[in-house]
Amino acid sequence: MKTWKLVSGILSIVLAVFVLFQSAAAGLGNSLAENGETSGSAGFLVAILLIAAGITAIVVRKSVKKGAHIALVIMYGLAAITGFTMAGSYEDLKIWAAWCLICAILAVVAIFKSKNVVDEDN
């Protein structure tokens, strides 16, 4: 699982850059169209959560304790919920939310795997 945490951390940080630029463009488009959508702001929040989760995943990649995995589930889960519910006209946000959902599910799997590893050591 530590390979997954390293890869997902690096990909999350790289993808966050794209999400930031796209959300800035979506926010500008929403402002110019005066349509009342908040998809640009939601994209910014998803990007911040992606950066935070990516850094956390890289830092705790060798940890077998549950706390690190729970933090990843919360961050990726919040990003996924925000992305799916607030996408509006910014359709690419659903793609980034899907990535966050996949990472959240893998973090849940890591919780159960780390439980088995700790139990076997005792």
Q: Whole domain around residue 103: which residue ranges?
A: 2-121
CA distances from 95 to 2, 91, 113, 116, 117 (A): 24, 8, 27, 32, 33
DSSP state at residue 65? S
**pLDDT value of position 116:** 57
pLDDT tens sequence across 60-109: 888 778 888 899 999 999 999 999 998 877 888 899 999 999 999 999 99
**pLDDT value of position 38:** 78
**pLDDT value of position 115:** 61
Domain count, the chain: 1
pTM as predicted: 0.86
